[in-house]
Amino acid sequence: MNLTLKIWRQKDSNAKGQMVDYKVTDISEHMSFLEMMDVLNEQLIAGGEEPVAFDHDCREGICGMCSMYINGEAHGPDRGVTTCQLHMRMFKDGDTITIEPFRAAAFPVIKDLVVDRTAFDRIQHAGGYISVNTSGNTQDANNIPISKHAADEAMDAATCIGCGACVATCKNSSAMLFVGAKVSQYALLPQGQVEAADRVRNMVAQMDLEGFGNCTNTGACEIECPKGISLDNIARMNRELMKAQF
């Protein structure tokens, strides 16, 4: 395939960015999207130009590092995949592909397609954990009975990889799907209920402090989420927050 790429280039967080056009040729439909970007960067380096900076790590849809807004969709036109799992067979020969970073005030651009998502880390640090007595008297987790339904729902929430697609696709740049998933995975289990009130209050307060918007109720976040995190987790977070107020 021969493609035209319109890519956001920005030297650093203080510089003014712009869209720059590139041509790539002989792209196999079996390549992943990031492999196509590798081809472009090899081409740029060979020509003495600065390669396009973009986040990536595992390239297996696990780490949540890759974060491209492709043709107006977080992670591109496929569903249930991250950018690294997106394949070029989703595009046609002669296509023009627009590639931008995730856009949100809480995700400032560092360079080109790389954004700073440490706001998510700070939300996690505010309450996304369980305090455990490690004195040697800790009860084995397998000794605590948990219903299959609660365990399944907690596991579904825990599949969130923190990529930020929910924020990028939301017109309010809301992080409520992310926070809802992190609150839910603990709220559904007995180990997480001891600190449940403090957890949800602190995490929601930090989310607001970071500048994320409120939920729009349009459900775009669930659709674009590569792990299919359900909107039910936002409802659960709201219920947990209401309980914590009393």
Q: What is the pLDDT of residue 138?
A: 72
Contacts of 136 (CB under 8 A, 6+ apart): none
Q: What is the pLDDT of residue 208?
A: 97
Q: What is the pLDDT of residue 135?
A: 73
pLDDT tens-digit readout, 115-147: 999 999 999 999 999 887 777 777 777 788 899
Provide the token pair at 142.
């397998």
Q: What is the pLDDT of residue 144?
A: 84
pLDDT tens string, the chain, 246 residues long: the values are: 999 999 999 999 999 999 999 999 999 999 999 999 999 999 999 999 999 999 999 999 999 999 999 999 999 999 999 999 999 999 999 999 999 999 999 999 999 999 999 999 999 999 999 887 777 777 777 788 899 999 999 999 999 999 999 999 999 999 999 999 999 999 999 989 999 999 999 999 999 999 999 999 999 999 999 999 999 999 999 999 999 998
Question: Would you tell me the crossing angle of helices 118-127 and 176-187 to the nearest 10 degrees?
Answer: 30
- Distance between CA atoms of 60 and 82, rounded to whole angstroms? 8
What is the SS3 assignment for the chain?
A: CCEEEEEEECCCCCCCCEEEEEEECCCCCCCEHHHHHHHHHHHHHHCCCCCCCCCCCCCCCCCCCCCEEECCEECCCCCCCCHHHCEHHHCCCCCEEEEEECCCCCCCEEECCEECCHHHHHHHHHHCCCCCCCCCCCCCHHHCCCCHHHHHHHHHHHCCCCCCHHHHHCCCCECHHHHHHHHHHHHCCHHHHCCHHHHHHHHHHHHHHCCCECCCCCCHHHHHCCCCCCCHHHHHHHHHHHHHCC
233: exposed, middle or buried (Cβ count in 10 Å: 0-12, 13-18, 19+): buried
Task: Write down the pTM of the prediction.
Answer: 0.93
